[in-house]
């Protein structure tokens, strides 16, 4: 078996000393560590101690000629199975989120084709600053996995989120990412729609619904975990992008349809989004005012059915199209009717009248397909997602 290898980028922060312990944990587990130390990082730990623990050369300089002769930065960025950034400073996160490449660490992050795990560490105000919030969200949307930061007393004397996760937690997360997994969906492209849509009435008002997006995000995550390339087209939600998933944010049903079309071709499409059936015929450009003549009349027009559009016969029709049905009664019969009406291959129906399903973390579903029906017990939405992803893998195999 070849040795698994981590490229460990150590940024500048008090937490950099924990990178030494992290290195020791990796080496003890037989994982190779190739360290990159930023200039700021070298103010907190010495290249000598990092190199001694890693039992490897420490790379520091983008323009180090000997490094380029032996190993260019592109090769370096791909020489490991996983890139771990610990501590991930606000500066490193900002550079990576914006694709800057002015030094070895940021160039490596831009050039790598390997999964990336970041362990942020910074002052609590820096972590909560809108710029860092934006950068973290963008990195997660790009598929970067994050661990921490933890909350607690900080070296700067403040209290709150910002402390780097402990080395053993970073180690465990990294090992989970390194573990060889069955990847039956490798080479397949899966499209998932999720969340509600928001249909504007005027600049401040809209028609939307209570969909949390949880089930759709869980399905995107489960498909990615099985090796699929996943495009998640999502309406507004409060959820984090699952690791390894490409996320496209939309608001309206029309935007969702366009984004889905742009994602084609795909091998499977799973439509979980709670798309608004109707939208206001026109969205007013300025805020509707009370005129004293009573309430305005809103004319609604029907939105396109994204599921039915994707399932329609066309050269780009995915091999498998899956719809969801939220029903309150006659679950199976309604789901079977929906299967026929929408032209899709499977309908996953859930009984939304049951306590704790809408917006909750559990789901109880039946899977309806032309040849039969499967009833699944009440399990977590994550487990429904894993079962569905496994079924999709079987079907596409």
**209 contacts: CB under 8 Å, gap ≥ 6:** 196, 274, 276
User: 156 an active-site residue?
Assistant: yes
**Burial code of 37-76, b = ≥16 C-beta within 10 A, e = fewer?**
bbebbbebbebeebbebbebebbbebeeeebeeebebeeb
Three-state DSSP class for 12? coil
Provide, rounded to whole angstroms, the least separation between the CB of residue 338 and ligand CTP. Answer: 6
Provide, rounded to whole angstroms, the least separation between the CB of residue 339 and ligand CTP. Answer: 10
As a whole number of angstroms, the distance between CA 351 and CA 223 comes to 24
In the structure encoding, which two tokens stand for residue 223, read together? 């498909």
Nearest CB to ligand CTP, comparing residues 154 and 307: 307
Closest CA relative to residue 348, chosen from 363, 369, 329, 367: 367
Nearest CB to ligand CTP, comparing residues 26 and 324: 324
As a whole number of angstroms, the distance between CA 34 and CA 59 comes to 8
Provide, rounded to whole angstroms, the least separation between the CB of residue 253 and ligand CTP. Answer: 6
Closest CA relative to residue 85, chosen from 56, 111, 133, 117: 117
Provide, rounded to whole angstroms, the least separation between the CB of residue 262 and ligand CTP. Answer: 16
Q: What are phi and psi of 324, to 5 degrees?
A: -115, 150
Provide, rounded to whole angstroms, the least separation between the CB of residue 234 and ligand CTP. Answer: 12
Task: Kindly name the residue from 156, 260, 271, 344 that is annotated as catalytic.
Answer: 156
H helices of 29-163, in order, are: 47-54, 65-70, 73-77, 90-98, 104-111, 124-128, 130-141
- Summarize as ranges the residues that interact with ligand CTP (CB under 6 A): 193, 253, 271-273, 275, 277, 303, 305-307, 323-326
Q: Enumerate the active-site residues.
A: 156
């Amino acid at each position: 078996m070849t040795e698994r290898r981590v490229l460990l980028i150590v940024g500048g922060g008090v937490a950099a000393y924990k990178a030494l312990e992290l290195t020791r944990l990796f080496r003890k587990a037989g994982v190779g560590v190739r360290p990159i130390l930023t200039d700021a990082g070298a103010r907190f730990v010495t290249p000598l101690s990092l190199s001694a623990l890693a039992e490897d050369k420490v790379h520091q300089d983008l323009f180090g000629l000997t490094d380029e002769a032996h190993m260019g930065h592109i090769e370096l960025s791909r020489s490991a199975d996983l890139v771990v950034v610990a501590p991930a400073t606000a500066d490193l996160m900002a550079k990576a989120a914006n694709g800057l490449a002015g030094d070895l660490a940021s160039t490596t992050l831009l050039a790598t084709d390997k999964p990336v795990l970041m362990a942020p560490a910074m002052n609590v105000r820096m972590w909560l600053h809108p710029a860092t919030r934006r950068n973290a969200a963008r990195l997660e949307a790009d598929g970067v996995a994050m661990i921490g930061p933890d909350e607690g007393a900080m070296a700067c004397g403040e209290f709150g989120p910002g402390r780097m996760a402990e080395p053993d937690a970073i180690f465990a997360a990294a090992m989970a990412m390194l573990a060889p997994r069955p990847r039956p969906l490798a080479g397949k492209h899966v499209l998932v729609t999720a969340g509600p849509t928001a249909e504007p009435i005027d600049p401040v008002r809209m028609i939307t619904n209570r969909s949390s997006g949880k089930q759709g995000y869980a399905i995107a995550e489960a498909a990615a975990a099985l090796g699929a390339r996943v495009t998640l087209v999502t309406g507004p939600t409060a959820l984090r992008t699952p690791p390894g998933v490409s996320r496209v944010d939309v608001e309206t049903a029309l935007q969702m349809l366009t984004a889905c079309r742009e994602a084609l071709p795909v091998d499977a499409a799973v439509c979980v989004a709670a798309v608004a059936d109707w939208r206001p015929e026109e969205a007013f450009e300025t805020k509707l005012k009370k005129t004293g003549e009573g309430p305005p009349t809103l004319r609604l027009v029907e939105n396109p059915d994204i599921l039915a559009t994707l399932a329609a016969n066309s050269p780009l029709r995915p091999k498998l199209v899956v719809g969801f049905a939220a029903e309150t009664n006659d679950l199976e019969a309604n789901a079977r009717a929906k299967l026929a009406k929408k032209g899709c291959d499977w309908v996953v129906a859930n009984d939304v009248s049951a306590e704790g399903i809408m917006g909750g973390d559990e789901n109880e579903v039946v899977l309806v397909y032309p040849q039969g029906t499967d009833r699944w017990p009440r399990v977590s939405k994550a487990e429904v997602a894993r079962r569905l992803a496994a079924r999709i893998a079987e079907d596409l195999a």
